[in-house]
Amino acid sequence: MVSVPVFLNARFNKNMSAPGFHHVETWIFDLDNTLYPASCRLFDQIDVRMGDFISDLFKVDRTQARRIQKDFFYKYGTTLRGLMSEHGIKPDAFLDYVHDIDHSPVPANAALAANLEALPGRKLVFTNGTVTHATNVMHRIGITHLFDGIFDIVHSDFIPKPERGPYEKFITEHEVDPGRAAMFEDIARNLAVPHDLGMTTVLVHDAANEDGNKINSMSGDADGAAHVHHTTSDLAGFLAGIKSN
């Protein structure tokens, strides 16, 4: 059985042999509601703009547009993938429109920056958003200089997590050894493939993350799922715990 340290605001899977982090050389982070808290409500702005785009596209009211939007989100992993799959929508105009938001609610996070910098090895972002959106968010937090790359929805050929293909392409393009990597995500189902590939997995949960919490509840006991090794509601504190062990 592998021993694991006790981190601040962290819970561990019922599988007490969950791996630790001493072997990790590549640190992979989702962006939205992971590197910044869902309480910033940044995705609420994106959500509204998605609804506006769909309302204008299909000439439906806002209530019907939201139903279409959420149906696609839960069925395909992203609203965009649903629009592309079922209606042949070109992605560029959609992505540019929905990510044209005010990023100022995302605060600088000196503690997160310091604890990321202390991690040995590479840091990468793997997001269903865009490079531009990720760069804007990371600049607000103050962590852009700490990351070695961003793999976005364009790099994944517009196929979102949790599909297996994007993970395999990410691993190939960034030459990641899954057995020496850890992935941090706010949606538990997005950790299933990383777990199967051999990564150490961390679920970052936040009571304000309505969509993520709904997805996690739909998949059962997400915190106790076999593909979730560790959970935390305080990413900076969790990374500090890794650093100190």
Residue 65, C-beta contacts closer than 8 angstroms, at least 6 positions apart: 51, 52, 54, 55, 58
Range of the domain at 123: 18-37+105-243
Predicted confidence (pLDDT) per residue in 29-43, tens digit: 999 999 999 899 998
CATH number of domain containing 113: 3.40.50.1000
Predicted confidence (pLDDT) per residue in 120-160, tens digit: 999 999 999 999 999 999 999 999 999 999 999 999 999 99
Mean pLDDT of 203-217: 70
The tokens 């493939």 sit on which residue?
Answer: 193
Q: What is the tally of structural domains in the chain?
A: 2
- Asked if residue 28 has pLDDT above 80, the reply is yes
- Asked if residue 15 has pLDDT above 70, the reply is no
Residues 189 and 133 grouped into a single domain: yes
Residues 118 and 139 grouped into a single domain: yes
| DSSP assignments along 43-59, one per residue | HHHHHHHHHHHHHHHHT
Residue of 13, 3, 17, 8 whose CA lies nearest to 230: 13
pLDDT, position 7: 42
Which of 98, 128, 144 delimits the end of a domain? 98
What is the value of pTM for the model shown?
Answer: 0.86
Residues 74 and 140 grouped into a single domain: no
Residue 166 has a CB neighbour count (10 Å cut-off) of 23
| pLDDT, averaged across the chain | 88
Cα end-to-end span (Å), the chain: 18
Question: Is the sign of the CA dihedral 43, 49, 54, 57 positive or negative?
Answer: negative
